[in-house]
Structure 1
Amino acid sequence: MRFLLIILLFVRITFAQHTDVLIIGAGASGTMAAIQAARSGVKVMLIEETPWPGGMLTSAGVSAIDGNYKLPSGLWHEFRLALEEHYGGTDSLKTGWVSNVLFEPQVAAQILTKMLKEADVKVHLNTSVKSLKKLDNGWRVKTDSNVWIETKILIDASELGDILPKAKIPYDIGMDSRYVTGEEIAPKQANDIIQVLTYVAILKDYGEGANKTIEKPKHFDPTPFLCTCEGQCDPDTISRTLWPCEQMLNYGKLPNGYYMINWPIYGNDFYLNLIEVNPTRREKMLEKAKNHTLSYVYYMQHYLGFSHLGLADDVYPTRDQLPFIPYHRESRRMHGKVRFDLNDLAKPFEQPDVLYRTGIAVGDYPVDHHHAAYPNAQELPDLHFYPVPSYSLPLGTLIPEKAKNFIVAEKSISVTNLVNGTTRLQPVCMLLGQAAGALAALSVQQNKSPEEIEVRDVQDELLKAKAYLMPYRDVMPDHPYFEAIQRIGATGILRGKGETIGWENVTRFFPDSTVNVSELTNNLKDFNIELTSDNKELTLKEAQQIALKLKGKSRELLLTNSAAESKITRAEFAYLLDQMADPFHQFQVDLQGFLISE
């Protein structure tokens, strides 16, 4: 018998499927990781528990993009262009007021499916991971259909970071202590409280006079929804802004008469912490969230007069017509080579580490935490829309502190609980997924574990894919010096300025401004270059001298023409440095952003 078992095991392993990169989770991150890695020329396999790729974009029904509208980076921008082509232009996506990019979930699923097919990614839908084993140079995965897959690089892009415990990679859940992270608005004591989830409902307008009311949900109680919009309760008794009911409905209005019901004000947000719960118990717990959403739909139909709006019968092929999964705002957070905190994000040029130099994904959404539906929400710190500039997410957040041949994406990257409030948004997850795919492909091609790959190599691949490294809103990809500005910005020789303007978070490079000599003098200290000038603004001659010094040549240019003393713009200086000295590649950096000594 023992001999027979050994033979069976040998046969299974012998006939295991093999791939270069295996991605678990075809959410916003996993899908883009697969596309990027495959386009880079390696063999890619993608496993997904639901019938659709896209995760929160599709399977969870959050078909309204938050942020990065003016940062058209990489695969996020490519996805947006595909939506515009489908619907007929930019304005056709502005159907609701929560977002400038709204779409039907099934349309997004079709677009992503096409992108995966064109990239030649092998996709396994309706498939989950049963077990995981570390190999000498990779991983072996067993699926729930008893298929064995061996891979060189494994990416956990699951919704809740479910592969982390299987791989025995340390992680955190819940709020961090301010005494550990140094974030002044974090709570004093750590806890396991996560953001609320939402079981979204996609409603459809069946026309005036139609009655699409649903059966009264079990234990229906209208009380939680009484203040969901203006005129339904006494506004003096609550601390939140109420909107007219019609505006509440139009919050998530989608094209072609659909509505995304994802309303945070006494709506369908629901608190559940099911991260450490097994799949069977999760499903039972999620029935409460589903019932809450159905109760909200029933309330809208019977108490607010929206009886002509019913659950869409042509979006999700589910028994209850709800999405395949809920919208999870928070998951496990891995212990990575770098942990990105609120201070790093808010004041990138004032930190001990120089993480902005390692940027691989950009974002501009505020730190937005949903906790109002938590039973004791009044005891939690106020984390709503904490202002930050647009930012770059560092590469080290994707790489575990110790595990080899492993990359993390989606919402389980190495950030603090506070920072997750902005990195969880769809465009950031898509872009960090793209970076994970680039890193994975380089790891395969160079036969190295991800932590051994040069930061600049990953950034080069992303620039080739028209992705941003630095979040400069005033330098678009069609700018003639875009790549040079991105590279020089990532060295720190020229730095952007971040600010919050009303709701918007912005970082600008000011490409047409002249170069401030005193600012530049400080920025060159890391490169052991002393700049002495009597000018307030840099001249062309001085710019060339700096480039020569960066290149390791001390001779001075003897410029005598009138152009030598002319002022040079920041964009021109970035291009000159990039072409003459190439400090981006000449000065390699580690995962903390420090210059690597030769």
Structure 2
Amino acid sequence: MSGLGRLAATVIFLAGLYANSAAAAEPDYDVVIYGATPAGIASAVAAGKSGRSVLLVEPTNRIGGLVTSGLSHTDFHSLESLSGAFWDFANRVERHYAQTYGADSQQVRESFHGTFAEPKVNLAVFQQLLKEQTSVEVIREHALTAVDVREAEPHRHIQSATFADASGNALTVRGRVFIDGSYEGDLMAMAGVEWRAGREGRDEHGESLAPETADDQLQAYNFRFIMTREEANRVKPVAPPGYRREDFVGVLQALQTDQIQRVFDYPSKCIFKAHLPVLPGGKYDINDVSRSLVRLSLPGKNLGWPDGTREERQAIYAEHLRDQAGLLYFLQNDPEVPEKFQQEALQWGWCRDEFLDTNHLPPQLYVREARRMQGVYVYTQADSEFAEEGTRAVFHGDSIAMADYGNNCHGTHHEGPRFGGKHTGEFYNPVPPYQIPYGVLLPKDVDNLLVPGAVSSSHVGFCALRLEPIWMSLGQAAGHAAALAVQDAQPVQQVDVSALQRRLHADGSATMYVSDVLPDSADFEVVQWWAAAGGLQHVYPADTPRKARGKKLHGQYTEAAPGHAAELDKPLDAELEQHWRKLAAKLGVPVAALPTADGKTTRGDFIRAAAKK
């Protein structure tokens, strides 16, 4: 954008701020966030830390999204990938178990550094996080009904948003910056921002995991039930509303094959994936079994969800509940189920101390994918693949988050009968840890909106971003970006990304995966600063083998990804010194004052010296 363009955008943004302050009859906040998902909560906490007035609005009566609705085995690969908002959250979860049961307790061990927890504990930790931010106000059970957008060039501006409770009582609030933390992108869509649902064709972004031609297929949903075999805490499942026996008799044939050996097991040859290790409290996170003969996820049954009304979404929720809870009820009670399967199934039930308001069933469906913004930068398959050279993924100098997972899709279509058919559109793509650029949060034409939930991406790209720790990192970035936009009275598209990165690093959030310098290290901020500038792209010899994963620990969890350590104690060699001096000069660092590769100077010495200059 030209200097005149930036000036015009700033004038328009300031006019929006003035209009907001002029409407004294309506509540006025620096930052308004819709959706108390992990992304929304992280946004609120980050903006609150900057001293901004924040309103966080949640349409249901329970905050936390899927983290408090059953997704209790967090999706990541290596612990070294966790930072920022999720790092803080997990540490608090672990402390909760240590304070409640003792530091050496079984519950602490089962929490796996706070990443595996009971939904009620996750909820309590989120509530405490928000309570600590005195400038953050939380309103529950208010759904978005309208967005007032002022049309202007070059960007449009959101003036206010209106929310209503179940009785129809409306609340209109004004904000300087808005953040859409919802899984569905409801605020984004109501503001008229461009979005897509469904899959792009292979040629549109050159994605090998995409279908040949575009379609409306959507990654399938299912519940993440929380169940137990502990008799004292076990509630016997009952038939869900609308249960029809004839819908489940087809599973009997599947039970006769060697592809189904148990009702509950891990990781395969079962119907309900009971994630291991077990959660604290003898509880299990239940999930869909990938590539199985019997699936919980229901592709095609969710196509109306992204742009659906509250009533249409509730009908989809009810259909998934009827199917998945109905399948369990059938297996536990139908006389034609073989005894060995029925007796095993009867050992399982809902948890008496979870989801008290919804008959011990998760209040939210696992919405893996809905709308996706088409914003300033569209994240695609290529963004999480190896760069042409080196041991790392594609480099993004404007990265505001990083992740260690991969493109993961549970399927988008089902062929054949409900039981015994197969999902298509399914993939699990191993990649090295990757960066996420700021542009995925930005709409093209609204100057005061950030979208950390329904981020700008292709279907395949979104399948690498749709994990809760990543959403929390994106939310944290959105919260700090919003605070900067308010502070500097600038459109969100003009936020100084370097300043944003510095805030994120100071808040413990990594923008590049560095396996041996974690958020609790005294060198974390300087190493992340150097990495963001490109300083860690080629520190390994050119012939170093590329490995996307470290050694397996258990399940999907691994040791640190190889080829991603800074090795600060390693002596600085002459070749790397020359490379780093050129980088330091580009950053405006006085190179004459930097240490040399004299056999004593370490990599850490050089980076610390550069940071001080």
| Same fold flag (TM > 0.5) | yes
CA distance in 1, matches of 2:532, 2:589: 23
Call closer, same or farther: CA 1:339–1:348 in 2, change over 3 Å: farther
1:327 maps onto 2:366 in alignment: yes
Call closer, same or farther: CA 1:232–1:426 in 2, change over 3 Å: farther
1:371 maps onto 2:411 in alignment: yes
Which position in structure 1 is the counterpart of 2:209? 185
Query: Which secondary structure state, in structure 1, belongs to the residue aligned with residue 483 of structure 2?
Result: helix
Which position in structure 2 is the counterpart of 1:413? 455
Call closer, same or farther: CA 1:143–1:232 in 2, change over 3 Å: same
1:202 maps onto 2:226 in alignment: yes
Instruction: Name which of 273, 278, 297 aligns with 1:253.
Output: 278
**Residue deviations 1:416-456, cap 9 Å, x none?**
21122221111001111000000011111111111011110
Call closer, same or farther: CA 1:306–1:276 in 2, change over 3 Å: same
Q: Is the 8 A contact 1:252 1:260 kept in 2?
A: no
Which position in structure 2 is the counterpart of 1:270? 298
Query: Which secondary structure state, in structure 1, belongs to the residue aligned with residue 145 of structure 2?
Result: strand
Which position in structure 2 is the counterpart of 1:574? 607
CA distance in 2, matches of 1:555, 1:16: 54
Query: Which secondary structure state, in structure 1, belongs to the residue aligned with residue 429 of structure 2?
Result: coil
1:134 maps onto 2:149 in alignment: yes
Which residue identity is paired with 2:91? Answer: L
| Structure 1 residue 500, shift from structure 2 partner | 1.2
Query: Which secondary structure state, in structure 2, belongs to the residue aligned with residue 163 of structure 1?
Result: helix
Instruction: Name which of 289, 293, 300 aligns with 2:320.
Output: 289
Q: Is the 8 A contact 2:572 2:597 kept in 1?
A: no
Q: Is the 8 A contact 2:411 2:425 kept in 1?
A: no
Which position in structure 1 is the counterpart of 2:92? 82
| Structure 1 residue 57, shift from structure 2 partner | 0.5
Call closer, same or farther: CA 1:80–1:553 in 2, change over 3 Å: closer
Call closer, same or farther: CA 1:554–1:55 in 2, change over 3 Å: closer
1:338 maps onto 2:377 in alignment: yes
| Structure 1 residue 104, shift from structure 2 partner | 1.3
Which position in structure 1 is the counterpart of 2:121? 107
Which residue identity is paired with 1:301? Answer: Q
CA distance in 1, matches of 2:111, 2:524: 32
Query: Which secondary structure state, in structure 2, belongs to the residue aligned with residue 21 of structure 1?
Result: strand
Query: Which secondary structure state, in structure 2, belongs to the residue aligned with residue 269 of structure 1?
Result: coil
**Residue deviations 1:182-236, cap 9 Å, x none?**
11222111111111111232224452898825237611344565698xx752339
Which position in structure 2 is the counterpart of 1:499? 547
Q: Is the 8 A contact 1:268 1:296 kept in 2?
A: no
Which position in structure 1 is the counterpart of 2:139? 124
| Structure 1 residue 356, shift from structure 2 partner | 1.6
Q: Is the 8 A contact 2:193 2:373 kept in 1?
A: yes
Which position in structure 2 is the counterpart of 1:511? 567
Instruction: Name which of 495, 498, 515 aligns with 1:456.
Output: 498
Query: Which secondary structure state, in structure 2, belongs to the residue aligned with residue 565 of structure 1?
Result: coil
CA distance in 2, matches of 1:211, 1:492: 54
Call closer, same or farther: CA 1:492–1:295 in 2, change over 3 Å: same
| Structure 1 residue 160, shift from structure 2 partner | 0.9
Q: Is the 8 A contact 1:38 1:119 kept in 2?
A: yes
CA distance in 2, matches of 1:341, 1:544: 30
Which position in structure 2 is the counterpart of 1:174? 198
1:34 maps onto 2:44 in alignment: yes
Call closer, same or farther: CA 1:371–1:244 in 2, change over 3 Å: closer
Q: Is the 8 A contact 2:35 2:180 kept in 1?
A: yes
CA distance in 1, matches of 2:138, 2:116: 26
Which residue identity is paired with 2:445? Answer: K
- Root mean square deviation of aligned Cα: 3.6
Call closer, same or farther: CA 1:465–1:267 in 2, change over 3 Å: same
In percent, how many aligned pairs have the same letter? Answer: 25
| Structure 1 residue 276, shift from structure 2 partner | 2.1
CA distance in 2, matches of 1:454, 1:210: 53
| Structure 1 residue 243, shift from structure 2 partner | 3.8
Call closer, same or farther: CA 1:57–1:379 in 2, change over 3 Å: closer
**Residue deviations 1:363-384, cap 9 Å, x none?**
101221111773478684552x
CA distance in 1, matches of 2:56, 2:500: 21
Query: Which secondary structure state, in structure 1, belongs to the residue aligned with residue 174 of structure 2?
Result: strand
Instruction: Name which of 63, 71, 75 aligns with 2:81.
Output: 71
Which position in structure 2 is the counterpart of 1:391? 434
Which position in structure 2 is the counterpart of 1:524? none
| Structure 1 residue 176, shift from structure 2 partner | 1.5
Call closer, same or farther: CA 1:555–1:160 in 2, change over 3 Å: closer
- Count residues in correspondence: 538
CA distance in 2, matches of 1:167, 1:579: 44
Alignment of 1:426-575 (within 5 A): 426-495=468-537, 499-501=547-549, 504=558, 506=561, 508-512=564-568, 537-538=575-576, 546=582, 549-550=585-586, 565-566=598-599, 568-575=601-608
Q: Is the 8 A contact 2:219 2:412 kept in 1?
A: no
User: Once structures 1 and 2 are overlaid, which stretch shifts more, 199-208 or 338-347?
Assistant: 199-208
Query: Which secondary structure state, in structure 1, belongs to the residue aligned with residue 349 of structure 2?
Result: strand
Call closer, same or farther: CA 1:322–1:252 in 2, change over 3 Å: farther
Q: Is the 8 A contact 2:42 2:476 kept in 1?
A: yes
CA distance in 1, matches of 2:170, 2:316: 27
CA distance in 1, matches of 2:233, 2:81: 43
Query: Which secondary structure state, in structure 2, belongs to the residue aligned with residue 574 of structure 1?
Result: helix
Q: Is the 8 A contact 1:35 1:437 kept in 2?
A: yes
Query: Which secondary structure state, in structure 1, belongs to the residue aligned with residue 55 of structure 2?
Result: strand
CA distance in 2, matches of 1:480, 1:166: 44
Call closer, same or farther: CA 1:318–1:471 in 2, change over 3 Å: same
Call closer, same or farther: CA 1:83–1:387 in 2, change over 3 Å: same
CA distance in 1, matches of 2:591, 2:377: 40
Q: Is the 8 A contact 2:227 2:351 kept in 1?
A: yes
CA distance in 1, matches of 2:469, 2:590: 45
CA distance in 2, matches of 1:211, 1:134: 48
Which residue identity is paired with 1:65? Answer: T
Q: Is the 8 A contact 2:266 2:273 kept in 1?
A: no
**Residue deviations 1:28-86, cap 9 Å, x none?**
1001100110111100000101112111101x321221115222311111100111011
CA distance in 2, matches of 1:555, 1:208: 68
Call closer, same or farther: CA 1:579–1:295 in 2, change over 3 Å: same
Q: Is the 8 A contact 1:488 1:574 kept in 2?
A: yes
CA distance in 2, matches of 1:24, 1:123: 10
Instruction: Name which of 214, 217, 220 aligns with 2:238.
Output: 214
| Structure 1 residue 458, shift from structure 2 partner | 0.7
**Residue deviations 1:374-420, cap 9 Å, x none?**
3478684552x21111111111100112211010012x101221122
Query: Which secondary structure state, in structure 2, belongs to the residue aligned with residue 370 of structure 1?
Result: strand
Which position in structure 2 is the counterpart of 1:92? 107
| Structure 1 residue 244, shift from structure 2 partner | 6.6
Query: Which secondary structure state, in structure 2, belongs to the residue aligned with residue 508 of structure 1?
Result: coil
User: Once structures 1 and 2 are overlaid, which stretch shifts more, 281-290 or 35-44?
Assistant: 281-290
Call closer, same or farther: CA 1:243–1:551 in 2, change over 3 Å: closer
Which position in structure 2 is the counterpart of 1:62? 71
Q: Is the 8 A contact 1:362 1:471 kept in 2?
A: yes
User: Once structures 1 and 2 are overlaid, which stretch shifts more, 16-25 or 292-301?
Assistant: 292-301
